Amino acid sequence: MKNLRAMRLIFFLWALSMCVRTAWCDSTQASFNPKRLWVVAGGTAAAYTGSLIALSELWYKNQARSSFHFFNDNHEWMQIDKIGHATTAFHESRLGIRLLEWTGMPRKKAIWYGSFSGFIFQTPIEILDGFSAAYGASAGDLAANTLGSALVLGQYMAWDEVAIQLKYSYRASPYASLRPNILGDSPSQRMLKDYNGQTYWLSANLKRIFFKERKFPAWLNVAVGNGAHEMVYGTPSENQQAGYRAYRQWYLSLDIDTEKIPSKNKWVKSLLFALNVFKVPFPTLVFDRRRGVYGEPLW
């Protein structure tokens, strides 16, 4: 399973630390503060370099190396892994902008530089993969990383804020137990490794996009989701040979933009910023070719 553990470990470490880091930058600095910039640059560089060194030792150390090469994995896991890449880059870019605004950097510069954070943070992992004989760098992963960061930048250019979020949710699937070494052998591992249980959402803020000049709940979103099931093996041929036929599902639901929930407490606001990674469960319409259209009480 190409670089899944590496990507998900980076995502987990980032999500775990985000609540703490964003508490520093709850309000922007009135003027540029070089000391804050050094804190952001030094802390981020140290944490990320340490993570990459650990990943190189734990994940790649015992694997055969090769000259740098690319590997086409676009047909694997029904592209759910690619959506995961885009979602990770999206939220790293959000965080990058927030941290740079905290330093007092001019807003436009903070948006431009911060928006590239997701792509920059993900690219070294692809380089490590590129020198692995078992894998290879993935053009699809690089494209997904670019798309996630571009979605943040494009919205700031159009609306001066992020009104459409990429979000994640998880429901336990019955397939992880069939290959626990690949799909996870504990609930926490399965949340990170089992693509069958992962759903990714485009969550759009209704007031900002459709009802800006009207009285309407600022926190209410509509969300369109995508997931896939019966993926015990990554490639379609392996999956079919084992007797499984992967299929997609689409979802229509409501969501909450947690950053729009009013609060004056900086720690609460930081927590709400971090929680916007996750889709809030609501009654959901599900569409798939096997069961047609049906409802779920919470998704």
pLDDT of residue 200: 97
Tokens representing 146 are: 């670019």
For 159-277, list the strands marked E by DSSP. Answer: 164-170, 198-205, 220-229, 247-256
* Residue 50 clears pLDDT 90, i.e. is over it: no
pLDDT of residue 26: 55
What confidence category does residue 4 fall into, taking pLDDT thresholds of 50, 70 and 90?
very low
Cα–Cα distances (Å) from 179 to 4, 245, 261, in that order, read 15, 16, 41
- Residues with Cβ within 8 Å of 242's Cβ and at least 6 positions away in sequence, in order, are 232, 233
Write the Ramachandran bin of 3: left for phi over 0, alpha for psi from -120 to 50, otherwise beta.
Answer: left
pLDDT of residue 12: 45
Percent of the chain with pLDDT over 70: 86
* Residue 1 clears pLDDT 70, i.e. is over it: no
The pTM (predicted TM-score) of the whole model is: 0.89
Measured over the CA atoms of residue 96, residue 97, residue 102 and residue 107, the dihedral's sign is positive
Distance CA 254, CA 196 (A): 21
* Residue 3 clears pLDDT 50, i.e. is over it: no
Distance CA 167, CA 88 (A): 9
- pLDDT digits 0-9 by tens, 155-200: 999 999 999 999 999 999 999 999 998 898 889 889 888 999 999 9
pLDDT of residue 297: 95
Q: Where are the domains of the chain?
A: 1-161, 163-299
- pLDDT digits 0-9 by tens, 121-158: 888 878 888 888 878 899 999 999 999 999 999 999 99
Longest dimension (CA), the chain: 62
> Phi/psi at 137 (nearest 5 deg)?
-65, 145
Distance CA 248, CA 229 (A): 6
